[in-house]
Amino acid sequence: MTHDPRPFGRLLTAMVTPFTPDGSLDLEGAARLAAHLVDEQRNDALVVSGTTGESPTTTDAEKDTLLRVVVDAVGDRAKVVAGVGTNNTAHTIELANAAEKAGAHGLLVVTPYYNKPPQAGVERHFRTVADASGLPIMVYDIPHRAGTAIATETMCRIAEHERIVAVKDAKGDLIATSWVLSRTDLAYYSGDDAATLPLLSIGGVGLVGTSTHFTGVLAKEMIEAYERGDTATALTRHRQALPLFTGIFRSPGTMLVKAGLNASGLPAGPVRSPLVDAGADELNQLRKDAAAAGIVL
């Protein structure tokens, strides 16, 4: 089946979840941040309740409320993708059905983590979730977190499902990705900010970013330049953004994004345990990385 080559646009940010000082959801802040990412950082779509959004420490009810707020805030001009992945197929289906009712435009489903299913189990998980939902699915392949990689043959088989349309690729294996791209029509989005340009060169279509809370404009210009054949400009933008593409991961990305947003007067608030708020030294280094990319925090 032929899919939209860019089902979620070119640029998505995995949005942090703003909290109030007491650790509860900052829903007004979430709406404001979502609007900033779409209107100022040029995002075509947002991922809500991904890892960067602290999905491991938010409740199902909080995920539902947050998603509805973001859809209301920007759903008329950007797609909203709900992170619903868990290591329990039945629970993932529950979250997927709730996200569809809340107005999500798509689902991000990560490889089941910790329990390390065999490839037959990985395939069944994704197919079962796709069968249970009417929304397009972006598969999240991130073996260094999940503990299990999606094998090339498995990815090609699940690509046969009409609702599995895209991949957030954080595997770090361009050869494996090349083989999948040569055999399927899946839309590949980089799950590693700094690897976006190399991924574009083998057929990728965009980025699901973390640093793009701040580098969205640069990343979008890089992708657009590459697509129009202006590889020199694409390389210039890649090199310009590289200090922050990589620097945002000196500590867990959520911690540094929230520190940078707080410093910039944008909604973020604290992180939830077991994460800890970035310290002064980490914020200072983040500012240096941002300055090297021509961005002031």
Whether residue 2 lies inside any domain: the answer is: no
Whether residue 176 lies inside any domain: the answer is: yes
Whether residue 123 lies inside any domain: the answer is: yes
Residue 231: which CATH number? Answer: 3.20.20.70
Neighbours of 168 (CB within 10 A): 27
Q: Is the separation of the CB atoms in 165 and 137 below 8 Å?
A: yes
- 179: which residues sit within 8 A by CB, 6+ positions away? 152
Which is the catalytic residue, given 63, 79, 113, 168? 168
Q: Is 52 annotated as a binding residue?
A: yes
pTM: 0.97
Cα–Cα dist 294/288, whole Å:
10
Whether residue 4 lies inside any domain: the answer is: no
What integer pLDDT is reported at residue 270 of this predicted model? 98
Which is the catalytic residue, given 63, 79, 140, 226? 140
The tokens for 45 are 């779509």
Active site residue 140: yes
Angle at 16 between CA 11 and CA 237, to 5 degrees: 35
Whether residue 6 lies inside any domain: the answer is: no
The tokens for 12 are 């998505």
Q: Write out the residue range of the structural domain in which residue 243 sits.
A: 11-292
pLDDT in tens, the chain (297 residues): 457 899 999 999 999 999 999 999 999 999 999 999 999 999 999 999 999 999 999 999 999 999 999 999 999 999 999 999 999 999 999 999 999 999 999 999 999 999 999 999 999 999 999 999 999 999 999 999 999 999 999 999 999 999 999 999 999 999 999 999 999 999 999 999 999 999 999 999 999 999 999 999 999 999 999 999 999 999 999 999 999 999 999 999 999 999 999 999 999 999 999 999 999 999 999 999 999 999 999
Whether residue 188 lies inside any domain: the answer is: yes
What integer pLDDT is reported at residue 228 of this predicted model? 98
What integer pLDDT is reported at residue 1 of this predicted model? 46
- The total number of residues shown for the chain amounts to 297
Neighbours of 249 (CB within 10 A): 15
Total domain count for the chain?
A: 1
Whether residue 297 lies inside any domain: the answer is: no
Active site residue 168: yes
Whether residue 5 lies inside any domain: the answer is: no
What integer pLDDT is reported at residue 3 of this predicted model? 73
What integer pLDDT is reported at residue 4 of this predicted model? 87
